Amino acid sequence: MGREDTKFELHCGRYCLNLSKRTHLMGILNVTPDSFSDGGCYFGLKDAVSQAHRMAKEGADIIDVGGESTRPGSHSVSLREEIKRVIPVVERLVKELHIPISVDTCKAELAKRALDLGAHLINDVTALRGDLSLGGVVAQYEVPLILMHMQGTPRDMQSNPHYESLIPEIIAFLRQAMERARQAGVEEKNILIDPGIGFGKRTGHNLEIIRRLSEFQILGRPIVIGTSRKSVIGDVLNLPVGDRLEGTAATVACAVLNGAHIVRVHDVKEMVRVARMVDAIVQGEQYA
């Protein structure tokens, strides 16, 4: 279990993250009115910036700003609306924080505007299928890109997700996504992959992905995973979104043990502690 010997360094502008040394934490900042967990909590600029500062203080290595909900059943928002939500926040954070700022978007124009302001990486849940121009923008700015697996779209992904062979199908999808990125000019060193917990998967699928996460190492790229507060935890423990901290901790611990390089979380303080403890267990004598 755990990471293979491959060394991954992620260059994000003036920041360099050694993903092979320890697990990195990506703090989720949803500047939306309707995200499944914290929609509306940080919709205003002041609240969003304050939350980002809080997560950075608690140990987040990256802040991931998203202006469009991708919860099951959600509809896409216009480019104009997404720009209105995201750009003022990014503009503040790149000036005020001393960690990389990621933008969770599939829209090339929004990505370009954010990168012009100094954002450091792009997180695309559509894996370059949503906007064919996005790959070229990422290549132009030479920033890292997260490619995530999703069956369907947020609007219909949970209607009837089905797989003949779950892990091989997701790996094949991510291979194709990586090839799209390379064809667009994105360098291999800047590609990260995410198996997409909750995106077109049933509870059993999500549990299997976490259990078999190490198999994604075959792709040779850093693994990002986001289990925080998701429905798989609610389904197993029969708990509402606001009461899934311990369940999230269990999934984060298993993901780290099985080779995750970056975990996306809402509860940064608690999950930093979980990740550090599991890192120490994995590293053993080397930790000291």
What is the per-residue pLDDT across 168-207, written as a single tens digit (0 to 9) for each? 999 999 999 999 999 999 999 999 999 999 999 999 999 9
Which of the residue ranges 23-27, 95-99, 155-159, 220-224 would you say has the lowest mean pLDDT? 155-159
* pLDDT at residue number 43: 62
- Token pair for 17: 């993250």
pTM: 0.93
- Report, as an integer, the average pLDDT of 62-73: 85
In the chain, the percentage of residues whose pLDDT exceeds 70 is: 91
On the 0-12 / 13-18 / 19+ scale of CB atoms within 10 A, 162 is exposed
What is the per-residue pLDDT across 72-92, written as a single tens digit (0 to 9) for each? 665 778 999 999 999 999 999
CATH architecture of 9-152+162-286: Alpha-Beta Barrel (3.20)
- Kindly tell me if the per-residue pLDDT of 284 is higher than 90: no
- Report, as an integer, the average pLDDT of 134-147: 98
* pLDDT at residue number 85: 93
- Token pair for 272: 């930093």
- Report, as an integer, the average pLDDT of 109-124: 98
Q: CB neighbours (10 Å) of residue 185?
A: 13
* pLDDT at residue number 222: 98
CA angle (86 as vertex; 126, 131 as ends), nearest 5: 25
- Kindly tell me if the per-residue pLDDT of 4 is higher than 60: no
* pLDDT at residue number 6: 72
List the chain domain ranges.
9-152+162-286
CA distances from 93 to 5, 56, 99 (A): 34, 11, 9
**Active-site residue among 230, 244, 273, 276?**
230
* pLDDT at residue number 161: 85
* pLDDT at residue number 186: 98
Q: List, as one string, the DSSP characters of 239-279.
A: --GGG-HHHHHHHHHHHHHTT-SEEEES-HHHHHHHHHHHH
Task: Say whether 112 is catalytic.
Answer: no
Question: Which DSSP state fits 218?
Answer: G
Task: Say whether 80 is catalytic.
Answer: no
- Token pair for 31: 């500047």
- Kindly tell me if the per-residue pLDDT of 219 is higher than 70: yes
* pLDDT at residue number 137: 98
3-state secondary structure at position 72: coil
- Kindly tell me if the per-residue pLDDT of 231 is higher than 90: yes
**Active-site residue among 264, 269, 273, 276?**
264
- Report, as an integer, the average pLDDT of 212-233: 97
Helices of type H across 59-107: 79-96
Question: Which DSSP state fits 148?
Answer: E
* pLDDT at residue number 173: 97
- Kindly tell me if the per-residue pLDDT of 243 is higher than 60: yes
- Kindly tell me if the per-residue pLDDT of 146 is higher than 60: yes
Question: Which DSSP state fits 126?
Answer: T
Chain Cα centroid distance, residue 256: 14
Query: How far apart, in whole angstroms, are the C-alpha atoms of residue 68 and residue 4?
Result: 34
Q: Say if strands 191-194 and 145-148 run parallel, antiparallel, or are unpaired.
A: parallel
* pLDDT at residue number 77: 87
- Kindly tell me if the per-residue pLDDT of 209 is higher than 90: yes
- Report, as an integer, the average pLDDT of 109-130: 97
**Which of the four pLDDT bands, split at 50, 70 and 90, describes residue 286?**
confident
Residues in the chain: 288
| Mean per-residue pLDDT over the chain, rounded | 92
